Homo-oligomer: A and B are copies of this chain.
Amino acid sequence: MGDVPTFRTGLGTSDADSITLLGRSLADDMLGEVTFGELAFWLVAKRPPTENERVMFEAVLVALADHGFTPTAIAARLTYLSAPDSIQGAVAAGILGGGSRFLGVTEDSAAFLAGSLAGRDALPTDEAGWDALAAEVITVTRAAGKFVPGLGHPVHKVTDPRTPKFMALARDHDAFGPHLSLFAAIGRAHPAILGRTLPLNGAGVCGAVLADLGFSPAIVRGFALLARCAGVLGHIAEEQVDPIANDIYMTVDRNIEYAPPT
Cα-based distance from A158 to B16 in the complex (angstroms): 8
- CB-contact partner of A10 in B23, B219, B261, under 8 A: B261
When distances are taken between beta carbons in the complex, the residues of chain B under 8 Å from A25 are: 161
B256 touches A7 (CB 8 A): yes
List 12 A-B pairs, Cβ < 8 Å: A4-B251, A5-B247, A7-B69, A7-B247, A9-B244, A10-B258, A23-B260, A43-B66, A70-B249, A83-B88, A88-B225, A219-B240
Please indicate which of the listed interface residues A35, A79, A162, A235 has the most CB atoms of chain B within 10 Å of its own CB: A79
Q: B83 touching A55 by the CB < 8 A rule?
A: no
Chain B CB within 8 A of A150 CB: no
A230: interface (CB < 8 Å): yes
Within 8 A of B (CB), among A205-249: 216, 218-219, 221-223, 225-227, 229-231, 233-238, 240, 242, 244-245, 247-249
Further 19 A-B residue pairs, CB within 8 A, beyond A11-B235, A31-B165: A4-B255, A7-B244, A8-B257, A9-B244, A14-B67, A32-B165, A36-B61, A36-B65, A39-B65, A43-B237, A44-B234, A74-B78, A82-B97, A83-B97, A84-B101, A86-B88, A88-B225, A92-B96, A248-B252
Q: How far is the CA of A88 from the CA of B235 in the complex (A)?
A: 19
Among A12, A55, A218, the most chain B Cβ lie within 10 Å of the Cβ of: A12
A residues in contact (CB < 8 Å) with B? 1-23, 25-28, 30-32, 34-37, 39-40, 43-44, 46-47, 55, 58-59, 61-63, 65-72, 74-75, 78-79, 81-93, 95-103, 155-159, 161-162, 164-166, 169, 172, 202, 216, 218-219, 221-223, 225-227, 229-231, 233-238, 240, 242, 244-245, 247-249, 251-262
Question: For residue A253, which residues in chain B have a CB less than 8 angstroms away from its CB?
Answer: 68-69
Alpha-carbon distance A157/B32, docked complex (angstroms): 24
Please state the number of chain copies in the assembly.
4
Tell me the complex Cα distance, A234–B162, Å. Answer: 27
**When A79-B96, A82-B99 are in contact, do A169 and B31 touch as well, CB less than 8 Å?**
yes
Chain B neighbourhood of A165, CB < 8 A:
27-28, 31-32
When the two chains form their complex, are residues B37 and A35 in contact, meaning their CB atoms are under 8 A apart?
Answer: yes
Best-surrounded residue of A83, A101, A253 (most CB of chain B within 10 A): A83
Question: What is the minimal beta-carbon distance from A8 to any residue of chain B, in angstroms?
Answer: 5
Q: A27-B161, A83-B99, A258-B13 are in contact. Are A78 and B68 (CB under 8 A)?
A: no
